[in-house]
Amino acid sequence: MTNNARRRKKSKLAIIVAMARNHTIGINNTLPWRIPADLKHFKSLTMGHHLIMGRKTFDSIGKPLPGRVSVVVTRNSALNIEGCVMAHSLEDAINACEDDDEIFIVGGAELYALAMPFVDTIYLTEIMQDVAGDAHFPEFDRTLWQELAREGCRQETPQALEYNFVTYGRKS
């Protein structure tokens, strides 16, 4: 994706992800934890915005999310999912969201890695333990990011977990 294509738009590009300490984000195309407060956090941040996701991430969700526009990135040019915008590259997906002030990359791992150089904000749910999984968030240089907000949380049910809601902004 060219910087010019990205700069023409005034949209902020954000990643939103829940990640274990060992960078796990999924297993068998599902989340390896249940955190109801994280789902509420995700909904409150993304409501009214475009969500860019890979096809496998869409499959794991199973339907377009209400109140948001689902943009599915796929290599399959014949794929058409009712209620979704289809794109065949990250750049096409971002261009499809040009009227939105904040666009959210919601997964999976390959799309996160492709988007990272262009992202302005990372909304990270930091799970404070290692978790087994087969999908991982890419390593990123935290020196390029400034922590803007952090909220520590803990839950006992449906499983005992400690986690943080952290917002990072790219340093200028």
**pLDDT for res 1:** 54
**pLDDT for res 117:** 95
**pLDDT for res 172:** 86
**Domains along the chain with CATH numbers:** 3-170 (3.40.430.10)
Give residue-wise pLDDT tens across range 20-75: 999 999 999 999 999 999 999 999 999 999 999 999 999 999 999 999 999 999 99
Give residue-wise pLDDT tens across range 154-164: 999 999 999 99
SS3 sequence of the chain: CCHHHHHHCCCEEEEEEEEECCCEEEECCECCCCCHHHHHHHHHHHCCCEEEEEHHHHHHHCCCCCCCEEEEECCCCCCCCCCEEEECCHHHHHHCCCCCCEEEEEECHHHHHHHHHHCCEEEEEEECCCCCCCEECCCCCHHHEEEEEEEEEEECCCCCEEEEEEEEEECC
Mean pLDDT within 105-121: 97
> What pTM does this model have?
0.93
